[in-house]
Copies of this chain bind each other. A is one copy, B any other.
Amino acid sequence: MRNGQSEAQTHIQEQIEQLRLGTVDFINEEELKKKIKKGKPLKVKFGADPTRPDLHIGHTVVLNKIRQFQDFGHDVDFLIGDFTAMIGDPTGKNETRPPLSPEEIDKNAKTYAAQIFKVLNPEKTRIVYNSHWFAKLTPADFIRLSAQYTVARMLERDDFTKRYQNHTPIAIHEFLYPLCQGYDSVFLKSDVELGGTDQKFNLLVGRELQKAYGQGEQQCVITVPILEGIDGVNKMSKSLDNYIAVVDSPKEMFGKTMRISDQLMLSWLELLTDITPAALSQLKLDLQSGRQHPRAVKVDLAKFLIRRFHSAEAAKAAEEEFNRIFVDKGLPDEIPEFTLSQPAEPISICHLLHQTNMTASTSEARRLIQGRAVEKDHVKIEDPNLKLALKSGEEFLLKAGKRKFVRVKVK
């Protein structure tokens, strides 16, 4: 009996360790342990804005953590914040936030579902819309809600502090949005809420509102970091073009993942996969001792991502194709990129080789071609007078001599 209890304790501790891996805020362990100990599935909340359903894998860090909750048997409320989205920005100042119609929201929610269920387990996920309860709130309820928080504390939120200090207007309804988000947790009686680090303040509002509304237990608040993009420098973002989209092809996913740094590889493993804390520690030791090669780890990581966002078959096929194109042909893992604007007229191949620093001159380029030592996308180039009509968006690989490669991108 005591032994059984002890085993359960160990299991709970392992669960906690796994859930804490890769998180930033974890408020707090004792409460979460207490909730898990009760033995009932927890209600895990994640709120999403229905206006931007086009996800890259940076957005899935939080989904990955939520998936771990599901794997431990817990339930998820995936909340579509359609109530505020239907209002938009009522000041009319923010043109990127026009009100959405119920039809648009419905459409976005479906696109969302298609993408999140690459990560989440649909059988343990309930999709809820907060318009459902906000439509029933009276103005008096709303005033009571807004009475639960002070102006000073709201102004402590980082972005509000900065805007207030810089005299950038904050409209009063912007103070109501965090309260609405918090009220969602009151209504859902959430046990845990997850979000990015930028959401910490809002998640804590939910925790406090649950208390103000007399709920005996408050939600635990867990935040995850922003994922770094494939450049390993900036956060992953569309505008920096350093992302892997959820809808990227297996080939793109494989290629991009193979090109990330060894350091970033460890961070991605922690934030995007279901690696256990113990396995991660062991892997670090093995990499240090040389028992594991980073290249093999990246292959595993790439295959994990393709399995997740496509299928096991696609993962296998992508690996085979990658081997066929790169490994079997002796391509290095990292190939420099060269981006050029689309030339108005066809460009001579010798000129291009010189421009991309593959050769010291156009005459060296000519000699190499005549020596059959230049390839474009693994096809030998034989005519030194060849002119290429480059199209915008085109990408290809140039090889000169035995070891020189460049990936050319046309803007």
A residues touching B (Cβ–Cβ < 8 Å)? 83-84, 86-87, 89-91, 134-135, 137-144, 146-152, 154-155, 160, 164, 167, 169-176, 179
Contacts and interface: CB of A to CB of B under 8 A. Distances in A.
Contacts of A164: 151-152
A155 to B, nearest CB: 7
Number of copies: 2
Contact of A143 (B87, B140, B147, B151): B87
Summarize A's interface: helix, strand, loop or mixed. helix
Given A173-B144, A176-B146, A151 B151 contact: yes
22 contacts: A83-B140, A87-B140, A87-B143, A90-B144, A91-B147, A91-B148, A135-B139, A137-B139, A139-B141, A143-B173, A143-B176, A144-B173, A146-B172, A147-B171, A147-B172, A148-B171, A151-B171, A151-B172, A152-B170, A154-B172, A172-B175, A172-B179
Contacts of A155: 151
A179 B90 CA distance: 15
A155 B91 CA distance: 19
Contacts of A140: 83, 86-87, 134
B150 A172 contact: yes
B143 A90 contact: yes
A152 B169 contact: yes
Contact of A151 (B135, B149, B175): B175
Contacts of A169: 150-152
Given A147-B173, A151-B155, 12 more contacts: A84-B143, A87-B140, A137-B139, A139-B141, A142-B142, A143-B176, A144-B173, A148-B171, A149-B172, A151-B170, A152-B170, A172-B176
Please provide the 9 A-B residue pairs with the shortest distance between their CB atoms, ordered closest to farther. A90-B147, A147-B173, A146-B172, A146-B173, A90-B144, A151-B170, A150-B169, A143-B173, A147-B171
B171 A150 contact: yes
A179 B173 CA distance: 11
Contacts of A91: 147-148
A158 to B, nearest CB: 15
Given A139-B139, A147-B91, A152-B164, A175 B173 contact: no
A87 B146 contact: no
Contacts of A137: 139
Contacts of A179: 172
A134 B148 CA distance: 21
A167 B146 CA distance: 19
Could you say which of A91, A137, A139, A148 has the most chain B C-beta atoms within 10 Å of its C-beta? A139
A374 B322 CA distance: 121
A137 to B, nearest CB: 5
Contacts of A83: 139-140
A170 B137 CA distance: 23
Contacts of A160: 151
